Structure 1
Amino acid sequence: MLTDAPVAPAGLFGFINPSGLYDPTANGYSHVAVIRLPARVIHIAGQGGETADGALSPRFEAQVAQALDNLSLALASAGATLADVAKLTVLVVDHDQDRLGILSDQIGRRWPLGRAPTCTLIPVPRLALEGMLFEIEATAYTG
């Protein structure tokens, strides 16, 4: 959804997808996040697709789902939710259009249309753990 005004401008932050730029909503992100200060800033370190016991699925889709679950748990520990996230950084091993589709679908399930945070996707050759295909870090803001 292209808009030159912040979506949900009454809250702590809003998202803008300016006219004149590519509409990123189908890919699950926004171009601009506007934060109203003062706010509590929460940085979440990169979360991978491993479970609490260290198990890591070989499937990309399963790793993305688990990493997003892990992100939700980390945010909750700081009193935040996915709705408080303004910025994501995503690392994807062997990135391609199929993986982008999986990621976009998973993000679309967790953030309502027009409320997806800003996001930078970085294709990488390898991540920290053997078999790790996906990692996501976040910055969230709460009042």
Structure 2
Amino acid sequence: MSRAINHLLIGVLITMTTGLNPATAGENDRKLTIVNPANLYDPTPNGYSTAVITPANARIAYISGQGGQDATGSLSPDFADQVRQAYANLGSALEGIGARPDQVAKLTVFVVDHDMSKLEVLTASVIEMFGENLPAQTLVPVPKLAIDPMLFEVEAMVVLD
């Protein structure tokens, strides 16, 4: 059997077994699927989802940790200001790669000296940016970040297509 026919047959088998047809793939085939199982605690009021499934054959981009520095590199000493600026910076990074917030599958946030009083600020910022399309998220309490005045950092995994 020729190599071209082998590749054609393999492509047909992949299409049949996965149900994917690139010629008819629509916008919904490229969306993230958010999963919050009913038998688990509902995390959405806290600004995240239990799991997010990425579409088959998606390209993934990883955005490095964004801190609360403004365009001049200055950091406010206020935690809430740093969080708001970090999410604004994340939004700029998304724009820079041609992505939208609803394409973010996973966030990891790092909080210096975390305590429960900081959750309200964190939750409000995530809901403001992502609305109902809440990504999976992990919060990691840390004693310090890259530079001493940093109090918060957020990194993202983004599905491009």
| TM superposition score normalised by structure 2 | 0.80
Distance in structure 2 (CA, Å) of the matches to 1:52 and 1:71: 13
Matched, 1:116 2:138: no
Distance in structure 2 (CA, Å) of the matches to 1:50 and 1:109: 19
Do the aligned residues in 1 keep the contact of 2:29 with 2:55 (CA within 8 Å)? no
Q: Which protein shows a greater Rg?
A: 2
Question: Once the 2 structures are TM-superposed, how far is the Cα of residue 37 of structure 1 from its aligned partner?
Answer: 1.6
Distance in structure 2 (CA, Å) of the matches to 1:71 and 1:45: 9
Q: Count the aligned residue pairs.
A: 134
1:93-104 correspondence runs (5 A):
93-104=112-123
- Residues 6-35 of structure 1: per-residue CA shift (max 9 Å, x gap): xxx755211010011111011100001011
1:1-143 correspondence runs (5 A):
11-113=30-132, 115-143=133-161
Distance in structure 1 (CA, Å) of the matches to 2:111 and 2:63: 17
Letter aligned with residue 112 of structure 2:
V
Distance in structure 2 (CA, Å) of the matches to 1:76 and 1:37: 23
Question: Which protein has the bigger strand share?
Answer: 1
Do the aligned residues in 1 keep the contact of 2:30 with 2:58 (CA within 8 Å)? no
Question: Which protein has the bigger helix share?
Answer: 2
Structure 2 unaligned regions, length at least 5? 1-27
Do the aligned residues in 2 keep the contact of 1:90 with 1:121 (CA within 8 Å)? yes
Structure 1 unaligned regions, length at least 5? 1-8
Letter aligned with residue 148 of structure 2:
E
- In the alignment, which residue of structure 1 is the partner of 2:16? none
Highest RCO, 1 vs 2 (Cα 8 Å, sep ≥ 6) = 1
Distance in structure 1 (CA, Å) of the matches to 2:98 and 2:125: 22
Distance in structure 2 (CA, Å) of the matches to 1:94 and 1:76: 30
